[in-house]
Structure 1
């Protein structure tokens, strides 16, 4: 075949067909690598990755990701892991624990040639959160994407279960969360873990606690016992029960910072501020206003608090981008938010402890803990989001006065240095009024505030460390007011009183039956309402009228609103074990009606003196007869409301003014003595009626005379007009018209003007004269006039018009 002719000077080279790489490499010198690993000295401290016996794909991936120097935990853990030992690794946050287990996973599977679908699953990496699993998977792709042929996958939920089931059968390495991988182990038939070689638990102390204990036990039952297990965390566990559950065999404990003076990085500056619970939001707002050119991570105890603070601060526009993250969000939204915060230069992220462990956000300047963490380990993981990889960082925690002593003791036991600082008074801003205004205008925001309050109180109640979290010492009423709520919602805990349970258990059968009948009374009443319906069938019209608005709020919001007939005295510390059928977990604690908002201030002068003697403050209000005793904060707030103060003042009286500008009441009572001096009341009444009858009679006579005069004057005017018409004076009066000048003269005469005064006035005819366009009582034909042609004709016509 003749070569193809092109416009190039040099002949083109025939491109070679690129073929896909084989899944297994036969040219890899596995034995040489194995010998180098066996000769590796675990007691030697290695400084660089090049000093370790690693494969060429791993070295290429480390070089492309700019990893060259080993950290302390990597220098000690990687050699032991390459030899196949079980490891318990503990190191400070930001010390590079991820690479400490990822490199051994890649190298051990590489030497074992565990590639391809036939090899099955070789390594499983379990993390407590989805965000951390995604981060580990991304690091694995960077390091292992330069020549390794493993099939790695991410199994964290949020996607179709069917898609993950199809992909799991081909995976060699899986990064997962406990709940999702357990679901596949129990439901995916083709998912085989018999060849599993390595199990890695990142943030092991979190995975092994009560939250994931059952899931981890079930996962371990599926896995083979002959495997290598590695546990890594910033605060590692040494409990024998945990190690026995995971079938660890003579594990090597690697703790590079155990002898250090601090459990946190040296470059981290840690402070705490004594902030009462009602002032925490004010302090947080003031802090954000003073650190707008920073990257801030704010920790709150619950997702409902995160959402409320985010929505409230977003409406107030602090001048810095705000984002929020909690566990109830969808996976796509959580991934987008973490990526957005990582790429941001200045931003503020409100989050729960879902981001407290393992996540690596670049260049975080501040970590603010508004709510106290549950323990010192959680504190260490929270502040570990800043000052990573020997960078500088700052952390501050807001502690309620009741939390200070207990929390500082726990931090001291964990070797965490914290210094106390104070907030400048002139820099602190109060947002309580703004929150109240927003909650009043926006029912959705008020609802979020109620749920945030309830979730925070519940989180305090379920805390294990009662020396730090003393529920009875928190000012919950003031805290609810700081959220903008009109009252503190009521909390009903599900935990029953042991004494009540014991009483019900020991009660007789008859007493138990009677109690159950009393509880069912309300249900019977509701059932009686439906008996009148035919066969108890609900028609479509019944369902239509029972339908509620869907765009206002959900049904459980109505259960948080209290009715007026409910009691106000509710003890928050009481554990209510008697649950009603329609009661939700949360309910409003107190609603103050408008009528009851004004207390009774009818206090005598003696009571006021006694109150002042007792140390209470008495305030005199203009318009009120007695002073007001201020014996509570509610009454002090009452003084700020003009509308409510009107109810305390004496009722005013309406007055009128006479001609001399003297004020009088509308109805003034005469002096009783003067009234009795004029005689008996009945005689005065008869005399008054006679006088009024005589006055009305005289007024009637005068009115009749006036009417008679008016009729007479009208007749005279009519006769005068008739005489004037009969006289035949010059001038023609148009039909239906009157002489205006004659009418004027008659009106002037009626006002009292004399004939002498009018003598100088020229007599006018009674009838109107002819108009310029009239002649002998007939209209002129304007069209018959001579046409104006010259200036003389124009002057003559003008003179004629003026003369007429």
Structure 2
């Protein structure tokens, strides 16, 4: 199937040709016809499957057709709600690309920057609003945003909204939308709370499910380096000596760790910047822009970026730390190997992280090849050290349980004796009375 088979209008097919798009991805192939029919949609798809185009293309087409009869000043007709600034900007770029030849305009609003430019654009009239929850609610409260004419509502990355604590904000936004609208709901996972939210806002939706979170793209070459925790920094520098690695997204488990890794790489003359939740919005966007333009070679990120970064031609993802959650691994390495391109994902695993690695292989349903030939192999001493620590921890837990059980039994015995004593005392006194 090609995009020409999806009954798209000429301005959109012309824009897609300009972007080099010929064949839709599975989610685009399934979702676009459903949305063009005016039906609600429940899409279960992770980042990297092409879901932005899956909702942006038909939304643009339907808005273009409906706007022919519009009179008067422009009102917001489509709202796309997404959890992070980075995602909002990327979605805005997609609408700009696909709607290049349409007479529709869009605006991206997010927090962390002055609202003046955003409110000025809103005052001139906007067809499509792409927003993060906090700034949207703020501008709604200030009466700069009115949602009473919304025809299309897209909730993107719903489970990410939950992770970031935005669900109540989302519900407040939804309460201001007109009941008669078309709603498109996208989430990489469907925990019960997300399913309940979907059920509450969708009307007889068509469900589209592609690339479940347990799968990894076949175009990604995965490998594991077993390495002492203390040698991970040296191993990273060793790997980056390979100049064929043009760009690398390195994941750290903590914000402090991300800063430290970036600092160490720069000391080694490898240009790197860190991106995480403690950085300002401007600093995060600047680091991302520098990485995309290849002014820096390495971007070090915490998991805030696992589903919030869309970088063309990213060749390598490196897990400096093995993530605690197996699904996070899938999201991390999904930043490479996109749109059919090849990519590589390296994971550094210390002895104490082997449990997490087992969870990952169980989730994805296959073993990840281990690289044996590298200068910093995991030592037997480190393995024994971790095993001893784990054994000692288990023993301590057992002793604590036994101690708690003994104390409970002892307490119960003492309580029983006191109870019997209390019961016996009045009887004794009664016998002594004349």
TM range (shorter): 0.7 to 0.9
1:121 counterpart = 2:76:
yes
Cα distance in 2, alignment partners of residues 399 and 428 from structure 1: 10
Matched-pair contact (CA < 8 Å) for 1:201–1:207: no
The aligned counterpart of 1:424 is: 373
Cα distance in 2, alignment partners of residues 253 and 127 from structure 1: 20
1:242 Cα shift? 2.5
The aligned counterpart of 2:339 is: 389
Secondary structure of the structure 1 residue equivalent to 2:148:
coil
The aligned counterpart of 1:20 is: none
The aligned counterpart of 2:219 is: 267
From the superposition, tell whether residues 333 and 345 of structure 1 become closer, same or farther in structure 2 (CA, over 3 Å).
closer
1:332 Cα shift? 3.5
Cα distance in 2, alignment partners of residues 118 and 203 from structure 1: 31
Matched-pair contact (CA < 8 Å) for 1:93–1:388: no
Matched-pair contact (CA < 8 Å) for 2:42–2:185: yes
Matched-pair contact (CA < 8 Å) for 2:136–2:145: no
1:143 counterpart = 2:105:
no
Matched-pair contact (CA < 8 Å) for 1:204–1:237: no
Matched-pair contact (CA < 8 Å) for 1:116–1:150: no
From the superposition, tell whether residues 298 and 410 of structure 1 become closer, same or farther in structure 2 (CA, over 3 Å).
closer
Given the alignment, which residue of 150, 156, 160 partners 1:202?
A: 156
Secondary structure of the structure 1 residue equivalent to 2:147:
coil
1:53 counterpart = 2:7:
yes
The aligned counterpart of 1:99 is: 53
1:300 counterpart = 2:252:
yes
Cα distance in 1, alignment partners of residues 183 and 99 from structure 2: 21
Cα distance in 2, alignment partners of residues 326 and 131 from structure 1: 12
From the superposition, tell whether residues 268 and 235 of structure 1 become closer, same or farther in structure 2 (CA, over 3 Å).
farther
The aligned counterpart of 1:133 is: 88
The aligned counterpart of 1:156 is: 110
1:160 Cα shift? 1.9
Given the alignment, which residue of 329, 344, 354 partners 2:294?
A: 344
Quick check: 334-343 or 228-237, which moved more? 228-237
- In the TM superposition, what whole-angstrom CA distance separates every residue of 1:262-293 from its partner, at most 9, and x where no partner exists? 61111112223333433332332332234564
The aligned counterpart of 2:128 is: 173
- In the TM superposition, what whole-angstrom CA distance separates every residue of 1:55-93 from its partner, at most 9, and x where no partner exists? 232222222222222221111000001112221223454
Matched-pair contact (CA < 8 Å) for 1:208–1:216: no
Cα distance in 2, alignment partners of residues 70 and 133 from structure 1: 22
Matched-pair contact (CA < 8 Å) for 1:101–1:230: yes
The aligned counterpart of 1:331 is: 281
**Larger Rg over CA atoms:** 1
Cα distance in 2, alignment partners of residues 154 and 117 from structure 1: 23
1:340 Cα shift? 2.3
Structure 2 stretches of 5 or more lacking a match?
379-386, 392-434
The aligned counterpart of 2:241 is: 289
Cα distance in 1, alignment partners of residues 163 and 375 from structure 2: 44
1:358 Cα shift? 4.7
Cα distance in 2, alignment partners of residues 291 and 116 from structure 1: 58
From the superposition, tell whether residues 160 and 407 of structure 1 become closer, same or farther in structure 2 (CA, over 3 Å).
same
Given the alignment, which residue of 285, 292, 314 partners 2:266?
A: 314
1:97 Cα shift? 1.3
1:242 counterpart = 2:197:
yes
Secondary structure of the structure 2 residue equivalent to 1:382:
helix
1:300 Cα shift? 1.0
**Once superposed, what is the RMSD of the aligned Cα atoms?**
2.9
From the superposition, tell whether residues 197 and 411 of structure 1 become closer, same or farther in structure 2 (CA, over 3 Å).
farther
Matched-pair contact (CA < 8 Å) for 2:265–2:271: no
The aligned counterpart of 1:279 is: 231
The TM-score, its normalising length taken from structure 1, stands at 0.44
1:190 Cα shift? 4.2
1:384 Cα shift? 0.8
Cα distance in 2, alignment partners of residues 388 and 371 from structure 1: 22
- In the TM superposition, what whole-angstrom CA distance separates every residue of 1:42-66 from its partner, at most 9, and x where no partner exists? xxxxx12222222232222222222
- In the TM superposition, what whole-angstrom CA distance separates every residue of 1:114-171 from its partner, at most 9, and x where no partner exists? 767734111111222211211111121111121x222310101233223323322411
Secondary structure of the structure 2 residue equivalent to 1:113:
helix
1:389 Cα shift? 0.9
Cα distance in 2, alignment partners of residues 382 and 337 from structure 1: 18
From the superposition, tell whether residues 416 and 290 of structure 1 become closer, same or farther in structure 2 (CA, over 3 Å).
farther
Which one has the bigger helix percentage? Answer: 2
- In the TM superposition, what whole-angstrom CA distance separates every residue of 1:204-254 from its partner, at most 9, and x where no partner exists? 221233622222222222222322221234445565323234x11222111
- In the TM superposition, what whole-angstrom CA distance separates every residue of 1:591-649 from its partner, at most 9, and x where no partner exists? xxxxxxxxxxxxxxxxxxxxxxxxxxxxxxxxxxxxxxxxxxxxxxxxxxxxxxxxxxx
Matched-pair contact (CA < 8 Å) for 1:123–1:196: yes
Structure with bigger RCO (C-alpha 8 Å, 6+ apart): 2
Matched-pair contact (CA < 8 Å) for 1:90–1:236: yes
Give the count of matched residue pairs: 380
From the superposition, tell whether residues 242 and 410 of structure 1 become closer, same or farther in structure 2 (CA, over 3 Å).
farther
From the superposition, tell whether residues 307 and 158 of structure 1 become closer, same or farther in structure 2 (CA, over 3 Å).
same
1:339 Cα shift? 2.4
Structural mapping, 1:735-746, within 5 Å: none
Structure 1 stretches of 5 or more lacking a match?
1-46, 430-469, 475-804
1:420 Cα shift? 4.0
Matched-pair contact (CA < 8 Å) for 2:43–2:208: yes
